[in-house]
Amino acid sequence: MYAPSIFEDRFMNNFLDDFFGKPVSALNRMANPMRTDIVEKDGEYYMTIDMPGYKKEDITAELKDGYLTISAGTDDEKEEKDGEGNVIYKERHSGPCRRSYFVGKHLTETDIRANFENGVLKLNFPSEEKKPAVEEKKVISIA
């Protein structure tokens, strides 16, 4: 059964922001984990994956059978109290997220370069299979 997502609705986000006084970033992270952009330029693919709230240690990248799989897991808990020590806001998010991308069976793990900074994972790798150099025929003269 298909149910529309209320978490992407601007009205709902603004309502929740106003109600709690906080942005609903955790809700957005759960609704749309790992937003990805892929660009091809000069024989390379450049991937940018938004992973806000994750640390470098939480992320793994694996290459198997031509599929690049990015996995991340976190246990995040936030709590705010008023001046008297009463909890007025509490939010929890935990669990894994994972996405796989077919990048080609010609790649090895040494072909992929990755960098994680400020909640953004950037990867780049060749877009085409490396072709072996064509060996030139060398004729041997027979005397």
Domain boundaries for CATH 2.60.40.790 within the chain: 33-126
Q: Report phi then psi at 134, rounded to 5.
A: -75, 125
Does residue 27 surpass a pLDDT of 70?
no
DSSP category for residue 128: S
Separation of CA 135 from chain center: 41
Bridge partners (DSSP) of residue 20 are: none
Q: How many CB atoms lie within 10 A of CB 21?
A: 10
Rounded-to-integer distance, Cα 120 and Cα 27, Å: 18
Return d(Cα 109, Cα 132) in angstroms, integer: 19
CATH 2.60.40.790 fits 33-126, yes or no: yes
- pTM: predicted TM-score of the whole model, two decimal places: 0.60
**81-90, 92-101, 126-135: which range is least confident on average?**
126-135
117-142 mean pLDDT: 79
